[in-house]
Amino acid sequence: MDVIKFLEFDEAHPEFYQRFEAVALQLIKKGRTHYSAYAICDYLRMETELDHSDDFPPFKLSNNFRKGLALKFVKKHPKHSNFFTFHDHGNKYPSNLGCHK
């Protein structure tokens, strides 16, 4: 993942992380203890295609941003640090983006 590109995307589209976070928290509330950032991103892609509005306009989301979104979620919600599984494929993430598993 290109961390700079993710941070630029996150700054330009804060509403995407807000929706990502809301879906993850809904899943946790429904009893899920583990889920896929990939699945949440695909759900949100479909949601933006079918029901885009001024609050949530359509845009392209790189698959490379899934890990950044999940890391940001874990940093903000440390009690759910095991909700996503992280794999190190040689990518480097700054420590302020989240956990390193």
In terms of residues, how long is the chain? Answer: 101
> Global pTM?
0.79
> If you search the block for the tokens 């990939």, which residue do you land on?
38
**Encoded tokens for 33:** 């203890």
State the amino acid at position 97 in one-letter form: L
Confidence of residue 27 (pLDDT cuts 50, 70, 90): very high
Per domain, the residue ranges of the chain are 3-97
* Confidence category of residue 3, pLDDT binned at 50, 70, 90: confident
Whose CA is closest to 66, among 87, 38, 99?
Answer: 38
Instruction: Give me the percent of the chain exceeding a pLDDT of 70.
Output: 77
What is the band of 99 on the pLDDT scale with cuts at 50, 70, 90?
A: very low
Q: Is the pLDDT reported for residue 8 higher than 70?
A: yes
Average pLDDT of the chain? 83
Q: How far apart are CA 22 and CA 3, in angstroms?
A: 23
